[in-house]
Structure 1
């Protein structure tokens, strides 16, 4: 039996330019592309402010989850890409823990030298299982 595929995008210009979806559902699994700190118009938010970028990125992750009827507690894995990891790790860890509360998904945090946008300091992707009870 084949699975249905459902894709979601915010309608941002870079989705067409790069040729990707913000998230794709295959069966009971949702693969969420790396989210970043932007508003509904696609304008970057939080240049120079790591914590604001993380909060806005996680808000965008919430918007993606809602498109699939999912909740944070159904996230089973995150991938967190951070520029200047040594400088930003403590804040990244605290904000990640605050976002999830008692829920503990697996997580890979990687320090990287660059991201897609010049002022971008963080990007967060996720793997979601819809068959996990919230």
Structure 2
């Protein structure tokens, strides 16, 4: 971004030089910089950690969240250590923040009790 701001190349040149995938990203950085917003790094240096997640148990999710908290919410380091995706760590931390450890339970494929079902849902089951 500094190279672009001092005129050492066009947006295309800078993106090519530093391996930035889109001019839009560079433009957003320049806009944030010019409006004195803080530019944050993911902590990975642009390295893809793990794009696909993996299945985890409830106990693993609790351990992962605890590790992340103990390491100053470093999602990237947590994802790398536990071989899960950055997005999974982010999601679990968000759920933990809202509901505590209860938020880490996997509620997919949970059937509703009969009294919570609509008429249509009762007919389908």
* TM-score range for the pair, normalised by the shorter chain length: under 0.3
In the superposition, the TM-score normalised over structure 2's length comes to: 0.25
Q: Name which structure has the greater RCO, CA cutoff 8 Å, separation 6+.
A: 1
In the superposition, the TM-score normalised over structure 1's length comes to: 0.24
- Greater share of residues in strand: 1
Bigger Cα Rg: 2
